[in-house]
Structure 1
Amino acid sequence: MGFPGTWMTESESMVYRVVPKCACSSIGQIMFYSDHGRYFDGDIHDSTDGLHKWAQEGSQTPIERMVKSHGALTFTCVRNPYARILSSFFDKIAGIQRNGKRYRGNLVPQLMQRYGVDVGSPENDFEFDQIASFRRFLLFARDTIRWRRPMEPDIHWSAMSGHISTFIVNGGRYDQIFFTEKFNEGMQKVLNAAPTPVKLDVNDVPKFNESEGHGPKRAHKVSAYFDDLSRHLIWEIYKKDFQLFKYDFDNPDNKLPKAEVDLDEVHAKLGR
């Protein structure tokens, strides 16, 4: 199985397990800069050299060697599950992708037909009932995760604990897990602990948000999207994420974690 979703600097200073919708564009760019003293020109997800990625055949042997020997600082980043699924909806379902098309081709028409999801269009300025459509999307997301129907779950809304556990089960171990909501602090701690060829201050890093500007803006506060049924579904899908990464299930508007991540607990519970 190896280490899918894993990136490593070419200098082998750090290893990162990507968790989609958790600042992965910024993290990839910072890793690239810490080796080369410049940012990748374009979306870091499109890079094919300058950064080891498990999806690149030539990167698999060095990544595997480094992960199994635990020879480099290893980390990942998590995000509040309420905000993460909302972000997935606005970016992947309601938004237009970088290539000018809808995400995964026929996914949105299928959602409209089967679940009654309406996401508007650039022509009508993305005018639609965001709350009703998001709640219907949430039913679809739950169906994909629970029953793998009408399709396999997508990496952008499958649970963070699932992404993070494959790395542990296959022999990896994390040194740090930090929060998107405290990004600068967490990322700086990683950089301070890793022997990077180029030093950088996270406060100087420009914003890399690849999904910005491709679709509608969220019109309401987070809690407005989640009624009792939605919260029941969220708990069903992301219970482990709330528990392991210390987020506040009871208050969707509290985006901050209630405590630090307990790395021993994460390895014990996700390593089975």
Structure 2
Amino acid sequence: MGFPGVWMTESQSVVYRVVPKCACSTIGQIMYYSDNGDYFDGDIHDATAGMHKWALDDSKPLITDAVKAGETYAFTCVRNPYTRILSSFFDKICGIQRNGRRYRGNMVPMLIQKYGIDVGGEDGTEDFDQIKSFRRFLLFARDTIRFRRPMDPDIHWSATSGHVSTFIQNGGRYNKIFWTESFNDGMQDVLDHIEVPNAIKLKDVPRFNESEGHGPKRAHPVEEYFDDLSMHLMYEIYKRDFKLFKYDFENPANKMPIGEIDLDEVHAKLGD
């Protein structure tokens, strides 16, 4: 299986396991800048040079050797499940993508037909009941994850722990897992542990939020999207994410973690 979703600087200073909707665009740009002295012009996910990626054939053996040797600093970044799935909904379901089309072609029309969701019209600009529509999307997300129907789960709403686990199960070990919610502190700790050819001041780094502007803005506080049933579905889908990464399941209004991530626990529970 190798190391899907893994990026590495060309200088091999650091290895990063990408987790969608967890500041991956900003992290990738920081890695790119650290080697090249400037940011990639465009979406870092489209870069095919200036950084090693598992998706690039020439990068695979280099990433494999670095991870197996265990000498390259390895990290990833996680996010509160409540805000992560809301972000996925507004970006991927309600939003028009960079190519001017809906995400994954006929998926949104299928959701409209089978689950009765609303996405704000053809271009996502019309008013609609965001809470009602999101809760129906959440039912769909649960169906994809638990039953793989009516399709396999998408990387943007499949569990964070699932993404994180592939790196461990194939022989990698994380030196650091930090939270999107305290991004600068976590990313600075990573930078402090590696050689950075081009110095970076995190307070000056733009936020490369590639999904910003794709869809309608969230009209309500996070907690208003989650009633008792929605929270039950969230626990069914993301129980391991809440527990391992120390997020507050009981209070959707609290996006901040309520404990410290135990790396030994993460490796033990995700390494099976």
TM-score class normalised by the smaller sequence: over 0.9
Q: Which residue is equivalent to 2:126?
A: 126
* 1:1-272 map, 5 Å: 1-121=1-121, 125-272=125-272
Deviant stretches of 4+, over 4 Å: none
The answer to whether the 8 Å contact 2:95/2:124 transfers is no
Cα deviation for residue 55 of structure 1 reads 0.4
CA RMSD of aligned residues (A): 0.9
SS for the counterpart of 2:20 is coil
- Counterpart of 2:258, as a letter, is K
Cα deviation for residue 242 of structure 1 reads 0.3
The answer to whether the 8 Å contact 1:11/1:196 transfers is no
Cα deviation for residue 123 of structure 1 reads 5.3
The normalised TM-score by structure 1 is: 0.99
Provide, for residues 81-122 of structure 1, a one-character-per-residue CA deviation record: whole Å limited to 9, x for no partner: 000000000000001101110000000000000000110136
Aligned residues between the structures: 272
- Cα separation, 2, equivalents of 1:145 and 1:124: 26
The answer to whether the 8 Å contact 2:248/2:257 transfers is yes
The answer to whether the 8 Å contact 1:16/1:76 transfers is yes
- Cα separation, 1, equivalents of 2:104 and 2:123: 20
- Cα separation, 2, equivalents of 1:162 and 1:209: 23
Provide, for residues 189-234 of structure 1, a one-character-per-residue CA deviation record: whole Å limited to 9, x for no partner: 1011111211211111011000111210000000100011100000
User: Percent identity over the alignment?
Assistant: 71
- Cα separation, 2, equivalents of 1:80 and 1:5: 20
- Cα separation, 2, equivalents of 1:251 and 1:193: 34
The answer to whether the 8 Å contact 1:79/1:181 transfers is yes
Cα deviation for residue 259 of structure 1 reads 1.4
SS for the counterpart of 1:178 is strand
- Counterpart of 1:179, as a letter, is W
Cα deviation for residue 125 of structure 1 reads 2.2
Select between 49-58 and 194-203 the one with higher mean Cα deviation.
194-203
- Cα separation, 1, equivalents of 2:58 and 2:206: 30
SS for the counterpart of 1:11 is coil
* Structure 1: runs of 5+ lacking an equivalent: none
C-alpha spacing 1:14/1:123, structure 2 compared with 1 (3 Å): closer
- Cα separation, 1, equivalents of 2:241 and 2:98: 29
- Counterpart of 1:27, as a letter, is I
- Cα separation, 1, equivalents of 2:139 and 2:102: 20
The answer to whether the 8 Å contact 2:96/2:124 transfers is no
The normalised TM-score by structure 2 is: 0.99
